[in-house]
Amino acid sequence: MISQRRIVSLIHLFMMQGLALVVTSFLLGYATHQPDLYVSGGLTLALKVIFIPWMLHRLIRRLNVRWDVETLINIPTTMLVGIGMVIFAFSLALPISRLSSSMAGGSLGIALACVLLSFLMMITRSKAVPQVIGFLSIENGLIFAATTVTNGMPMIVEFGVALDVLVGVLILGVFMFQIREQFDSLDIRHLEALKED
């Protein structure tokens, strides 16, 4: 995701990330015999694989945005920084995953790498839409960590997170329309021009 310049490709990668989260929930539910994880996987499928990508596609069509050409750091440098973050994430998670008694103790490194790479994507992009996708990817990494390391979250937590994500996406959509209306661009650097009178 950090090397993509096309916003449509970012949305498709976010969709695949959500699909991987669904498969993880289903596999963990099958292995641990927890039916709550099937409901969680279905909720993730409906929200992160179908609804949010559909909403993002609709937003970019209405805003007429297809490319995110401007990045603050060039792509090769971003990729090198990303490789360093992945190595850091796995070295940071290694002592904790050795102590873990769960089936997927090594998945903490993957989740931490996903969170760090999503932060990197948010920092290096100058448009609002990729930053929204980065924010949603951070949430995917946190859900992946919570699901795999603890062998599933309580269902009430899942519903709370799903509601928060849904409300967040709706607010961010309104926010993007307001930026576009005020500045005729989704470049967030235009917000620096705002000053108090």
Report the C-alpha gap between 155 and 47 in whole angstroms. Answer: 15
Q: Where are the domains of the chain?
A: 7-193
d(CA 115, CA 134): 9
Comparing C-alpha atoms, which of 55, 44, 56, 52 is closest to residue 18?
44
3-state percent helix, strand, coil for the chain, nearest multiple of 5: 80, 5, 20
pLDDT for 17 = 93
Angle between helical axes of 155-183 and 128-149 (0-180°, round to 10): 170
- pLDDT in single tens digits along all 197 residues of the chain: 888 888 888 889 999 999 998 998 898 888 888 888 888 888 889 888 998 899 888 888 877 776 665 677 888 888 999 999 999 998 888 887 777 665 556 788 888 899 999 989 888 887 777 878 888 888 888 888 878 777 666 655 666 666 677 667 666 666 666 666 655 555 555 555 555 54
| Confidence at residue 25, expressed as pLDDT on a 0 to 100 scale | 86
Stated pTM of the model: 0.77
